[in-house]
Every structure is written in C-alpha cells, then in structure tokens.
Structure 1
C-alpha cells in the first residue's frame, strides 16, 4: 500500500525492429515513453530525432475518415439504451486482433459507400425542398384547366396570370369597367391573395397595364409545361420516387449494426497507431540503431526485458537506473493499494497525487473518511439500502474499471453508515429497539464524539507529518519542533480536558498545563527557523502561535459530523411522523408512495452532503497538516480504449482460459 517504485530504462535496438518494439511496448501497457534525450544514455551527434509527422498526419487522416463514418451511422443505426449497454459486456481485443480485423476488412470501400449515400441523401433533401416549392406554386394554379402557354398564342387579345390583394378586387372591377372588352376569372383565393386570369383586347393593353399597376397586380410567368394539374401530378410522382429512394437508403443504413461494430474496431486500431506514431517521434535514431527511453514500475522490469528480448531476438542493449534525487519532481506516480483501500484513490486523484518522495495518504485517509461519511448519514436502513443496491447493480450490469471502483467506494462507505445507524438506533428515521445514542436527545454527547474524532484525526496527521520530516536528514529539527510541538500541544490539551472534566482529583491537569507551556515554547522555536535575521526569527516564531486559531477552527469543523447526522435523522423522523397522521387506508397507499419518495430525497441529500463535507475535512483539516502533493500520474503507453476495450495478449489468454 504505497507509491509504486519506478525505474528509468533506456534501450538500444537495431532500427529494423523499432516498429515491432513500439507495438510490443504498447501491448505491454506498463511503460511510459520519454523523449530519448531524457534517458540514461547520452546521445551523441550520430543520433537524430525520428520525424514521424508525415506518417502521423496520414494515420490521423485515416482515423478522421473512420470517425466520420461512425458519426454518420450513429444517426441511423438504432442505438442501445444506457441499460442495454450496461447489461452486455463489451468484447475485448488485443492489438494484434485489431490489426487483423482492420487489414482483412474492406472498410475504406465501405466508408466511400457511406459518403456516396450521404451525398445522395443531401441531394434528395435539396430536391425535396425544390419540388416542394414547385408543388406549392402549382397548387395555387391547379384549378386553371388549360395550358398557360395558350395565352401566348392569342391574336387579338392579351391573357395574363397574376395575383392581387383581396382588398383591391372592388377597385379592379371599377378599373376594368372602363374597358368593355376585358374579362377576369378568379382561379383561387386565399385569406389575403386572389389568383386571377385576365383577358383584354390588345388595343387597350397599355391602358389596362396602367390600371393594373394602380391596383397592385403582380403578373405571374408560368414556368412549367402543360396544364397545372398535369404538372402537379408529375411533381408528386417525382416526390414519391425520391421519398421512396430516401427511405430505401435509410432502411439500408439502419441494418448496418455489424458494420458499425467493425468501424469501432477500425477506429481503435488507427487511434492506437496514432498514439504509437506520436511516441515514435520521441525516439532517437542513427543509421542502424534506435534509442528509446521511459519509466516502468520496478516490479515489471524483468517482464519488460523478456518482451524486448523476444521481439528483438536478443539484439538489444537495456539499462535500468534508480530514481535520482534531482528527478523526484519528474517521476510519474502510480498508486498501489489493496481492494479495500484502492477505491479511495479517487479522492486523492481529485486533490493531487503525491510526489515520489512523499507517502501515499490513501490508506491513512480511507478509514477516517469512511467513518466520517457514516457518521454524517448514520442510518442503518440508508446504509443497508446503498450496500444492497450497489451489490445488485454490480451483479446485473457490467462496468468499466473506473466506474466499478467508484461504486465500490460508496459500497464501502455504506458499512460505517450501517454501524453508526446501529449506534444511533435509526432505521429509515424510525427508532430501533436498541440504541447507544439518540440523535434526538443526546446531541451534546454526539457533539463531543465529533470533536474527539477530529482530535484523533488531526493528531494522526501530525504523526504523519513528523514521520515525513524525520525521514529527511535535514528536516529532523523541524520534525521535533514543528510537528512534535503541536503533537505535544494537542496531547496536553487532552490531559487538561481529562483533568478538569473527567478526573479532577488527579494531577492530569497539572501535567497538561506544564506540557502546554513546553509545547508553545517549542512552537515558537520551530517557527523561528523560518526567519533569516535574528529579529525575523523572533517574529516568525511568535507568529507561528497564530496557528492556535487554525487548530481550534479545525476541531470546530468536525462538528459538522454531528450536525449532518442529526439533521438527516430529524428530517427522516419528520417524514415518518407526517405519514403516521394519515388514516390507515391512506397510510398504506399514498403514504407508502410518499414514504419511498421522501426518503429517496433524504437519502440522496444525505449521501451528497456526506460525500462533499467528508472530502472537505480530508482536504483541509487532514491533508493540510502533512501532505503537499503535486505529483503527475503515470501515463502508460497503450491504446486509447475510446471505442473498444484493448487488453494485453497475456490478459486475453487468461480471459479465454476462464
């Protein structure tokens, strides 16, 4: 249960094997590649950086094509629901399987076919819009039962089609009365517009045109062949044909579930090749030799050498080196804890990973966080519900490692929740037959327990601070006078409290008073080390006494353990009391529904509050005493796992054997 020990490695191989070597290391999934010039072996002028940018661009272009096809298919292929995805375990592949599937599939032709379908669907969409406009236009003139072209063949008359506002019809009548040889017919009329056929003698053309202009007549030029009704029928036939074509294309796309799965595999393959190509740019090369460097967990060193030996057939030079002092800030961090502690690593990752020369705070924080979480919920029923619900969910559904770790985290927190629920005798807000403390009447006792809990955790944090400082040769003085002095202070405060409130007849109070004076003097001495001049040392020493307020406020912060636990229990009891006032019939009908609904809300709020406030106590009151952080996560050279899950050859063999 600690930070995994790392080693830096540097390997020289013949240039002809470097592609296979990179693929092997990517499949190995346990090394982080470094730029070769940061390795152990110093590169001379014979080595140059491998420029793989052109290859990377080509691979990224291929990946972009596959991702476009995936996104395009997503719009048509029926997608599984969230529940369906969880019910089905995703298949796993090795890098070799990805390569085989990609090379044997005709995915490029398939993508081009999808592009052709996409282009045709876009054209159909545009054609539908154009035909729809033409259909609307013809609908306005469908009652004109002649071909408008005949109007152009009149010898003595002029025929016009056009529109006019309904309000102008009386005016039009008045104007046309001036010309006996004129005539108009209403083809169709809407709420605002009238569609007309006008006929008048050619001798009156200019005068009629002037009159038409005064009433706002808009001439319409018929752009189609034949009668409007016939043209409309042709348009509808065209629309029906392209709608049928569109449906056939979309139906075909909806049947491409297998092709979509294959595209996921191809996308993962090219994604892994892009990662491989980018890491290739970190290599140095001469005419015949490739230089590669990286970090690896110390326990995997022999396995790495075996992998390199196999792929290079023994033609390699491999060097390992322990972490040097000047490399501390650069070493990648990988935490390793047992199954009970590992789920709490998520809290460390949210805050900051430790540096390589620090301690892993996870195993020390986990029990305090779990107990604090349980005390802030403190209901046996709530804890039992959370534990069983997660147990059932994990049995029914399949989750990735990250999600499973998060679920296990809350499942572990449910155990102390049940424990504190038994202490408070609370079961969904109802009082159990036995209880050690009541969250309704024993508020003072619960408050004292909360402060004692905080006292213990803060004292433990100072022990860790003492250990961290003592482990450094030049920090032993600070360990005694900066950590040890505050430990003595808290211990003396504890003795004073016992002497005055619990055992007043003993000398504990006197011993506590003496220890308190010694601790404060030690605090001033420890703080003086931060000053550079004599006056500065006195000032910083005295100023360090201001930390008294910090420690007092830290202890007060733990009263939230009492406040949240009592508040949640009181709300649950209030819900039960309200339902108890219902008549018997209503109590077992609508009352049962309200019981589930109201307690579900309280469960959610209780767990949310416990999660957030528990984190606050660890980050501020606990970590602030001994933990600095600032480490960077170990980023192994492996596939992206964005589209399908990739495992090593070794793990795949284990899965098949099971």
Structure 2
C-alpha cells in the first residue's frame, strides 16, 4: 500500500504546496488530473488552446500527462466540456500535506516497515523451536479437521456405523490388516465390492506408475485422467516426449545447465511433492537434450568437433528422421486404440478406426521403400496391395455393421477421407526438425554477433551480452519444446486411442506441508 502511494506521490512531488489550498479559491476552480499521452500531444493542445482553461504541466509518462487545470467558476460547464474532449480524469488527493512532504514521510514509513519486518524475521530465527511447534500444530489441526469431516460421511446408528468409499486395489489388504489390528475380529465387517460396468463413470482414477514414469503423469493429468478401465497413456507417452523434447531443444550446453540446475534444487533444497515431481520431470528431460546435442554436435550454438548430423548441412535427413518418429508414434497410437477396442469387444471399430489404418500405413511404407528407396518392385507391389485391400475392407466392414447399407457405404467412403488427416499428422512432426534448427541457428547467430565486437568489448560487455542472449534462447528453446511436445502428444498421439475425462481419487489425507509422510505397509 505504501509503495502504491509512493508511485502516486513521486509523480506529483514537484508540487511544494498543499493542492487543496488552491482548490478553494472563490473565483477560480483548480483540479488535479491526468490526460492520455497522444501523438503530437493532441489532447494537451486542446486544453492549451482553450480560452477558459489555464494548464500547468506537472509530469509526463509514456501513458499519461499529469496536469493542474484552472478555470473560472462562472464558466464551469463550458470548461468541463473542453476537459471531457481531452479525456481529462480527476486525481483525488487524499493526503494531509504537500506531495513533496508526503513523499518524504512515505519513504520514512517504508524504511520503518522494512526494519520492523527484519526484526520479526530475526526474532523468528531465534524461535526456531517455536516455529517448528507451530508447523507441527498446523499439521495436526488439519488432520483432525479431516477426521471430523470424515464423520459427516458416515451412516450412524446407535450401535453401528457404515462407511463406504473408494480404495486402490493394492490398499485393500493393508486396510483390512489395520482394521483387524485396531478393532479385533468380530468388531467389523470389511466388504470389497465388485464394480459394475454402469458404475464406471463414477469410479475415481489413481495413476500407478514406477518412479521413473511418475513425473510424466503431469502430462496425462493436464490432458485429463483416464476413466476407470481405460488405458493409462503415461508409459507410452513418456519415451516419445523425452525423445521429442530432446530433439527440439538439442544442445549439449543447454541440457547440461538444465541437468545441473534441477540436480542442485533436488539435492539441496526442500520442496513439496508437486514441485519435486516437476523438477524430476525437467531433470529427466535434460538427458535427451544432451544426447541430441551430441548427435547434432552443438554446445551453446558452437559446433563440436564431431557432428553425426549437422543442423545446417543435413536438414533433409533430420526432416526424414522427424517424419519417421511421427509415423512410429502414430502407429503405436493406432495399436493402443485397437487393443482398447478389442478389449471392449468392439471388433468392427477396432478394424475400421485402427487396424485397417495400421494396414494402410504399413502398405504405404512398403510401397515407398520398394519404389523409392530399395528399387525392388515386388516390395512396392505387396505394399500397394496391402493398402488397397485394407482400404476396401474398411468400407466393407462399415457396410456390414450398418443397419442402413447405403448409409454404411457413404460412412465407409468418408472414413477413407481420413487419409488427409493422417498426412497432416505426419507433416506436423516436421516441427521437430524446425525447432531444432531454429534454436541452433539463433544460438549461432548470438555467438556471431558477440564475435563481431572489438576484443575489449567482447571480453567485457560481450560476456554479459552473450549470457543474456543465450539465456533468452535457452528459455525460448525449452518453452517451444515443452509446448510443441505437448501438442504432438495431445493431438497426434492421444487422438488415436485416448479419451480421458476421468476424475481423480480425493482421499482423506494428511496435510504434509511441513512434514512428509511415508506409507508403511502392514505386515
């Protein structure tokens, strides 16, 4: 609040008198206010050219001009009309003395507040034991509140109560053991219930992955948790996201900095579980960034002595590699979609939406290999035959499974039009090459720019300049890789097999802001 007032007072601090003293003049009316800054000071000129209004400029900024305007009281209506044309806005002066005096008082008060804050922090440092007790008290209070809220969920009777809720499969045995230990046999009934298919929409979701995959659960949660019985995409998206992020941000130096920064924070600082999972996520991403940096022979935009692939000379090869990655991921997505449909016994959908397209894509790959790469005609013939038969089969299956055969024929033919969508999906993966090249080119351009400076400037101001420019490129490279990596997963990959729409299990839990709880399995 003091700083907001300081900002206002600094603007008007050139006034060494109390403004309200001149507001009360019997024959003139004076107002403090601002007008917008405009091209050629158009609004200011309106007031300066007025025969009624006297203008005193107090301050200028890029957005506004502060003014004192004075006009005769007997001509208030005409003056207000001219002020409105200039978009004049009144500033209410809510202080007791002149702006220059109020500013001095404000700065002294701020200094006193800062010193008081420092004293409080120093006192807290001396009361570490008390602080720890307060933190533990917060934990206990929250946990007691959770227990009281849990009581509202109980069906109570005079001699019995009933509690119904959700448990993960692996927690069932532990809970039963604990009930037996705490209550004793004959004092409770523990009844795990089978989930009926019509209840699937109500069942909450818990993702259960190993320590390596858990950081990538963020991606799944961002898109939407799987419904009960639906495939968890996390194990399948993690390797692709690692490879794609690394390829788009490829630089040995950038990856090393990301590794070092996340390693130091994880090793020497304490964070809550959510922040720790995010840091592990970016720590894992640092490895493919370094690996792809070695493959492209780049470190902070400088060429390494070895370059298996050059970002400047092997663009076609890198683009083909990007497309190959895309085709592989699309085929994996189609395979997972087919698996999900077969599991649900939706055999027709499994073929028309997934297996048929897998066959078509496989046929096209064989055709391209046979006719353009290997120059073996029989491979190309086999490939084209597979693609044609699979396409015809999509139409036939759609017709056979439709009540209206003509409608089924139209639907099957329209389904084949989806080939344009697959072409667009494959082309979308060229962004892997585009971002890799752009990041490397910008880093090289920054190095070149600093290299043009004279030797004295290069090793003085040039050091700060290159750090700032490379820091900017690191931020843009990681941001671009993060966002475009998400796009490839959510649109091109998840769209082939994953719906999402589940909701998370929200169990009664401990606070765990100041104390980390570890689960101990019952024996």
**Normalised-by-shorter TM-score class:** 0.7 to 0.9
Match for residue 241 of structure 2? 369
* Pairs within 5 Å for 1:222-261: 255=123
- Tell me which protein shows more strand as a share of its residues: 1
Which of residues 486, 492, 496 in structure 2 aligns to 1:615? 486
Match for residue 503 of structure 2? 632
Aligned length: 410
Question: Would you say the 8 A contact 2:204–2:502 is kept in 1?
Answer: yes
Provide closer, same or farther for how the CA distance between residues 611 and 165 of structure 1 changes in structure 2, counting only shifts above 3 A: closer
| Mapped partners of 2:196, 2:254: distance in 1 | 50
Residues 535-578 of structure 1: CA deviation (Å, up to 9, x unaligned):
22122111112211110110111011011000000000001111
Residues 448-491 of structure 1: CA deviation (Å, up to 9, x unaligned):
11111101100111111111111223x12322333111001111
Residue 499 in structure 1 maps to residue 366 in structure 2: no
Residue 433 in structure 1 maps to residue 305 in structure 2: yes
| Mapped partners of 2:217, 2:499: distance in 1 | 16
Match for residue 159 of structure 2? 288
| Mapped partners of 2:307, 2:453: distance in 1 | 27
Question: Would you say the 8 A contact 1:527–1:544 is kept in 2?
Answer: no
> Aligned-pair distance for 1:260?
5.7
The secondary structure found in structure 1 opposite 2:242 is helix
Provide closer, same or farther for how the CA distance between residues 411 and 252 of structure 1 changes in structure 2, counting only shifts above 3 A: closer
The secondary structure found in structure 1 opposite 2:191 is strand
> Aligned-pair distance for 1:583?
2.2
Match for residue 229 of structure 2? 357
Provide closer, same or farther for how the CA distance between residues 597 and 432 of structure 1 changes in structure 2, counting only shifts above 3 A: same
Provide closer, same or farther for how the CA distance between residues 300 and 519 of structure 1 changes in structure 2, counting only shifts above 3 A: same
| Mapped partners of 2:400, 2:239: distance in 1 | 34
Provide closer, same or farther for how the CA distance between residues 263 and 538 of structure 1 changes in structure 2, counting only shifts above 3 A: same
Match for residue 321 of structure 2? 449
Provide closer, same or farther for how the CA distance between residues 640 and 536 of structure 1 changes in structure 2, counting only shifts above 3 A: farther
* Pairs within 5 Å for 1:5-404: 255=123, 262-314=133-185, 315-404=187-276
Residue 480 in structure 1 maps to residue 480 in structure 2: no
Question: Would you say the 8 A contact 1:379–1:569 is kept in 2?
Answer: yes
Which of residues 596, 600, 617 in structure 1 aligns to 2:471? 600
> Aligned-pair distance for 1:377?
0.8
Residues 80-118 of structure 1: CA deviation (Å, up to 9, x unaligned):
xxxxxxxxxxxxxxxxxxxxxxxxxxxxxxxxxxxxxxx
> Aligned-pair distance for 1:380?
1.2
Provide closer, same or farther for how the CA distance between residues 289 and 565 of structure 1 changes in structure 2, counting only shifts above 3 A: same
Residues 602-641 of structure 1: CA deviation (Å, up to 9, x unaligned):
0010000000000010000000000111111121211344
Q: CA RMSD in A?
A: 2.9
Provide closer, same or farther for how the CA distance between residues 313 and 483 of structure 1 changes in structure 2, counting only shifts above 3 A: same
**Structure 2 gaps, min length 5:** 2-23, 28-114
TM-score scaled to structure 1, two decimals?
0.58
> Aligned-pair distance for 1:587?
2.0
Match for residue 573 of structure 1? 444
Residues 508-532 of structure 1: CA deviation (Å, up to 9, x unaligned):
2211211121121123235447754
Match for residue 467 of structure 1? 339
Question: Would you say the 8 A contact 2:215–2:281 is kept in 1?
Answer: yes
Q: Which deviates more from structure 2 when the two are superposed, residues 265-274 or residues 577-586?
A: 265-274
**Structure 1 gaps, min length 5:** 1-74, 76-163, 168-246, 654-658
Which structure has the larger Rg over C-alpha atoms? 1
Match for residue 78 of structure 1? none
The secondary structure found in structure 2 opposite 1:492 is helix
Which of residues 422, 426, 429 in structure 2 aligns to 1:558? 429
Question: Would you say the 8 A contact 2:370–2:380 is kept in 1?
Answer: yes
| Mapped partners of 1:414, 1:624: distance in 2 | 27
The secondary structure found in structure 1 opposite 2:165 is strand
Question: Would you say the 8 A contact 1:379–1:418 is kept in 2?
Answer: yes
TM-score scaled to structure 2, two decimals?
0.73
Provide closer, same or farther for how the CA distance between residues 648 and 581 of structure 1 changes in structure 2, counting only shifts above 3 A: closer
Provide closer, same or farther for how the CA distance between residues 263 and 505 of structure 1 changes in structure 2, counting only shifts above 3 A: closer
Provide closer, same or farther for how the CA distance between residues 510 and 443 of structure 1 changes in structure 2, counting only shifts above 3 A: same
Provide closer, same or farther for how the CA distance between residues 649 and 546 of structure 1 changes in structure 2, counting only shifts above 3 A: closer
Provide closer, same or farther for how the CA distance between residues 489 and 585 of structure 1 changes in structure 2, counting only shifts above 3 A: same
Question: Would you say the 8 A contact 2:371–2:377 is kept in 1?
Answer: no
Residue 588 in structure 1 maps to residue 459 in structure 2: yes
Provide closer, same or farther for how the CA distance between residues 368 and 526 of structure 1 changes in structure 2, counting only shifts above 3 A: farther
Question: Would you say the 8 A contact 2:399–2:406 is kept in 1?
Answer: no
Provide closer, same or farther for how the CA distance between residues 551 and 429 of structure 1 changes in structure 2, counting only shifts above 3 A: same
Which of residues 410, 418, 429 in structure 1 aligns to 2:282? 410
The secondary structure found in structure 2 opposite 1:355 is coil
